[in-house]
Structures are given as C-alpha cells and as structure tokens.
Amino acid sequence: MENKTIADIFTEIADLLDIQGENPFRVRSYRNAARTIEDLGQSLESLVKAGKNLEEIPGIGKSISEKTQEILATGKCRSLEELRARVPPGLTELLKLEGLGPKKVKVLYDELAVDSVDRLEKAAQAGRLRNLTGMGVKTEEKILKSIEHYRAGMGRFKLSVGFQYAEALLRHLQGVPGVKRLDPAGSFRRRRETIGDLDILAICGKGCKVMDRFTGYGDVAEVLAKGETKSSIRLKCGLQVDLRVLEEESYGAALHYFTGSKAHNVAIRERAKEKGLKISEYGVFRAKDEKRVSGAQEEDVFKAVGLPPIPPELREDRGEIQAAERGALPRLIELSEIRGDLQMHTTASDGKNSILEMARKAKEMGYAYIAITDHSKAVRVAGGMDEKQLAKHLKEIEKANGQISGFRILKGVEVDILPDGTLDLKDDILRECEVVLASVHSRFNMEEGEMTRRVIQAIRNPNVKILAHPTGRLILEREPFKINLQEVVKAAVDHGVVLEINAYPDRLDLKDVDARMARDMGAKLAIDTDAHSALQLELMKFGVFTARRGWIEAKDVVNTLPLQELLKILK
Ligand code: DGT
Ligand code: CA
Ligand code: CA
Ligand code: ZN
C-alpha cells in the first residue's frame, strides 16, 4: 500500500472531526500525520514489514501508529468508518473548495442542506448564501470561483504524488521477464506540476506477461481496458495509467509522440511536412511513398526535422523549436549542480529535526552548505520566534557549525512580511543573519496594488536577501494571491534580492513560466526545499524540474555557487 493511500485516510479523519467541531489539536495531529506520511520518502508498509516502530518517526504517535498498522493489515480503518456514518458524505468534498472551512460547511449544511458541490453551486447562483451569518454577496462570488477552480483541477494529481505511484508501479513491472524497456512519458516526463494520467511505454520480448502483471497490480481499483498492445487501469487513488507495448523500430517515435505536449507535437509535425516527411507515433516516413525513414530512437524525430534533441521539460511549444533551430537551447540546470539549500525549518519552529540533523543529511547528499531559516513570530501556528528566541537560535546554529566539519550552516530566518509591508522582526537581529528570507503568510486576499506595495516594501529592506514563495499558491488548493509580479521582479533586480523557486511539491513557487520571466528580466533565483524534516531535503528535485521547465540554467541559480561566491552575493 502506498503512503498516499494511508495519508488520505488520516486527512479524511481530520476533515470529518473538523466538521463535527472536534478539538482543533486532535484535528491538527491527524493533519500533521497525513503530511508526514505523504512526504516521508520511505514506504510505511516496508518499515512495518521490517519491524520498525513507527512511533520513532517524528509526528507519529501511538494512536496514528496503531491505526496505520490496522490499515496495512486490513485495508480499512474502523475509526474512519464510524466517523463516516455520522457525517453526510459530500461534506468533506466541500472542504476542498478554497475559502470553505469546516464552520462554513456546517452552516451550509444545517441551514440549506447543502451536501455537495453541485448543490452549493445552485445555492450560490440563486443568491441564497448572502443571508447566512458571516456570508455575503462577495462570499457567493468567491465560492463560485472556487468551484470553477476546483473542477478544473479535479482528477489531476500533484507531480510528487504521481512520482510515488509511478515509481512503485515501474518497480512492479521492471521485474517481468521479457521487458526490455520501460519509460514513463506524457506530462509526467515533461515534469508538469500536475498530471492528468500516467502514460507508460514498453518494449517486450515474445510471450512477455507484462500486461497480465500490469492489470494484476495490487493497487488496481479497475481495469479499464486490456489488450496486447494497450491496457488501461485505474488505481485505488483514482489515477489512471495507460501502458503501451511497442515495436522496437517505432519506439523512439512513440516516445516522442506520447511525451507531448500536443502543441509541441503539432509544431514538429508541421515542420516535417515542410520537409516532405510524415511523423507519427509509428515512425518517420517519406510523404510521397510512406517509406519508413527512421523512428527507433527519439533523436531520430528531431534529426528528421533538422533539430538537436529538445529536453522533455521544454516541449510545450513555448519557443523551444525556434531556439533549437538557432542553436540556442538553454543548458538546463541539473540536480547535481545544486550545492546547498537555503530554506528549511527545524524544531525551533515547525520542523521535525534539529539543526545538526538537517546539516548531516545535507552533507550526506553532497551539499557544501545549508541555511537554517525558521519562522518568525507572526506565524504563530508554526511556532515562530521573536527577537530573543532568534538570537538564542543563532547561537545554536553557530554551535552546530562547530560540530560538523567540511560543511557550513548559515544563520538564517524566514521573516514574515506583515500586512503593512514591514517585517516581523527588528533590523538589529536580521543584520545578525547571513540569509534573510522574507515571505507572506497572512492576509492573502489583498487587492493587487496593496499586495504589490507590501512585498516591494519588504524587498527594499536591505537585510532581505531572498523573497520566498513569491506568489503564495498551493497547487490544487490555493490560487496565488493577486500581485503584479513584473513590478516585484523589477524591484528584486534593483535591490539585489534573489527570488525563490520553492521546491516543496505543494508550492513550486515561482512556477515555471514565472521563473522564466524573472530570469529574462535579470533576476537571480534560489531553489530551496522549505524542508520541515531532514528527509524532505530530498524534495529538491521538484524545484529543479520546475526550474528546467522555466528554461533556467545553473548560472541563474545562486545555490549552485561555491560557498564563498554565495556569501559575496548575500552581502
Ligand atoms: P495529462 O495527462 O493531462 O497530464 O497530459 P499529457 O500531456 O500526458 O496528455 P495525454 O495523457 O492526454 O497524452 C499523452 C501525450 O500524447 C500528449 O502529451 C501528446 C500525445 N497526444 C495525445 N493526444 C494527441 C493529439 O490529439 N495530437 C497529438 N499531436 N498528440 C497527442
Ligand atoms: Ca498523461
Ligand atoms: Ca494518457
Ligand atoms: Zn514552516
């Protein structure tokens, strides 16, 4: 069983408790557990099989551990079923709408019997929400927008979630005798931030049982189609997976075709037409007599249209074909070029590991440095620090530095940008830090002008070095706040402030096209994990994917620099 499946059960328990008005601490403990499990980076099932005590994992207590074992053993959770019996189904779905919390959901149900997204939409359209306590005409408008947004993302999965399912499934298929090649394609291979489904391609020898193995996978909820060359399944989590078995001679053409994007494919085919060629998922052919020219390798497709290979992340028809033509494709940043991580949290605020534990893990990953950047006091739910606590914490960082060799822990903080644009901590203490990240964690609903002024005022503070998660979005959960990003980037460039690509898979903020715009305007970027545990330092790859989709090169990214050069930039 996948971690995500277990995490979803705890999220649902939290939602159901929340709607019933349960103790917020209890609700939060389930939410935290779900998050921990989802981002664990190791399979809970295999940990249990290896006899590990789950309570040793930070964020997992006795009750969660017991429930996890129950879920793994029986596939069910009794507490969840009891809760479900008490709350109308449909209410938890309403919680997924942005701006709808458990209190509002309860009012909507009690007063208007709203128990589904459709009913809520009808009620809002009919103007029936405006008379309820705490709601108005504005609420109705907002809810209708949230519903639209929710429907657009419905059925899509965050890339990080897709990764967990894809890796497990590929492992399952890899061992099948006769399987010669296995490649994920589609939006997954292009590293889009969300995926609609997973497309897998394979080459197999005669008599290979890969299709049986595929449709017989333990996590399958439904077999949608089964054939010799194509099968489709739906996993228990709802994700659809297509598997195609191909001939060796057309594999490269198919890999190109099914990687997409559709817009990129169309543009490539048009180029082929001009050259008297026809490109399809079966190969490259001469138009006049349909004679096969090539198609076994993916490069064949590019070669046929006179181009060098284009990395999958760029294949969105956003100028990559023209750039390839001019020999001007970027040399995209690689994960191995990252030398350190400049945003992370420890037990001093809402992280799960100590300074030294974070540093040891980072060193083990081959990094030369990290910055410890815990929250400031305005973020109360995250245990943010005041000036005095930060001063003490900075001493702790210095001390930890003495306990690890050949590695540097930078003194940092993630200071909150208050609604009026001032910072949450005094300049005196910020000056003591080597890395000050500034970010917005409250009042997301400001007007664009007001929010832009707020953030630019923070950028103007000479102590601020990095603007963290600049648009505040949460993928499939929360829209970015309204802000004039161009003005923000311009201010950042003027004041030498670095813009973050937050690698945390829920954020990926700046997103691909915004990072590209920022770089084109002359901004420097930092790719940071925002890790809340040592294991989450591994999430860096998702930030690198986003950067690659944004045409970013190593030279644009400050944490590819050696320590001494980085320190110069931070000064
Ligand atoms: P997704 O699954 O919504 O995240 O996005 P994709 O890009 O994975 O799209 P999907 O799964 O529908 O199809 C996989 C690839 O197959 C797609 O990226 C390009 C190719 N493809 C699908 N339909 C067409 C089409 O009508 N024309 C062309 N040229 N290519 C297509
Ligand atoms: Ca797909
Ligand atoms: Ca597909
Ligand atoms: Zn935090």
For 204-240, the pLDDT digits (tens) are 999 999 999 999 999 999 999 999 999 999 998 889 9
Q: Best mutation site among 165, 187, 243 for ligand 1, i.e. most ligand atoms within 8 A of its Cβ?
A: 187
Give 68 Cα–ligand 2 centroid separation in angstroms. Answer: 31
Residues whose CB falls within 8 Å of the CB of residue 552, separated by 6 or more in sequence, listed in order: 330, 332, 333, 501, 515, 516, 519, 525
pLDDT band at 99 (very low <50, low <70, confident <90, very high): confident
Question: For all residues of the chain together, what is the average pLDDT?
Answer: 94
pLDDT at 175: 87
Domains of the chain: 3-152 (1.10.150.110), 157-245 (3.30.460.10), 255-325 (3.30.210.10), 335-570 (3.20.20.140)
Q: How far is the CA of 195 from the centre of ligand 3 (A)?
A: 10
- What is the pTM assigned to this prediction? 0.85
Minimal-distance CA residue to ligand 1 atom 24: 262
The answer, yes or no, to whether residue 42 has pLDDT greater than 90, is no
**DSSP category for residue 37:** H
Q: What is the DSSP letter of 379?
A: -
Ligand 1 atom showing the smallest separation from residue 188 Cα: 8
Strand ranges (DSSP E) for 269-325?
A: 277-280, 283-286, 292-294
Distance CA 183, CA 526 (A): 30
> Most distant CA pair in the chain: distance in Å?
79
Q: Which ligand is nearest to the CA of 187?
A: 1
Closest CA to 11 of 73, 99, 71: 71
Tell whether the model's pLDDT for residue 408 goes beyond 90.
yes
C-alpha distance from residue 413 to each of 234, 403, 557, 562 (Å): 44, 21, 20, 21
Ligand nearest to the CA of 186: 1
Q: What is the mean pLDDT of residues 349-360?
A: 96
Q: Are strands 179-184 and 194-195 parallel, antiparallel or unpaired?
A: unpaired
pLDDT at 43 over 90: no
Q: How much of the chain exceeds pLDDT 70, in percent?
A: 100
CA of 383 relative to ligand 4 center, distance in Å = 9
pLDDT at 96: 85
Residue 174 near residue 180, CB atoms below 8 Å: no
- The pLDDT value given to residue 38: 83
Ligand 1 site, residue 261, Cβ cutoff 6 A: yes
For the segment 512-519, the average pLDDT, to the nearest whole number, is 98
Give the pLDDT confidence of 432-442 residue by residue, as tens digits.
999 999 999 99
Residue 328 has pLDDT above 90, yes or no: yes
What per-residue confidence (pLDDT) applies to 312? 98
* pLDDT value of residue 92: 86
Over residues 447-473, mean pLDDT: 97
For the segment 129-187, what is each residue's pLDDT rounded down to a tens digit?
A: 998 888 889 889 999 988 988 887 778 999 999 999 999 999 999 989 999 999 999 99
Ligand 1 within 6 A of CB of 258: yes
* Mean pLDDT computed over 267-273: 96
* Any ligand 1 atom below 6 A from CB of 328: no
Residue 529 burial class via C-beta count within 10 angstroms: exposed 0-12, middle 13-18, buried 19 and up:
buried
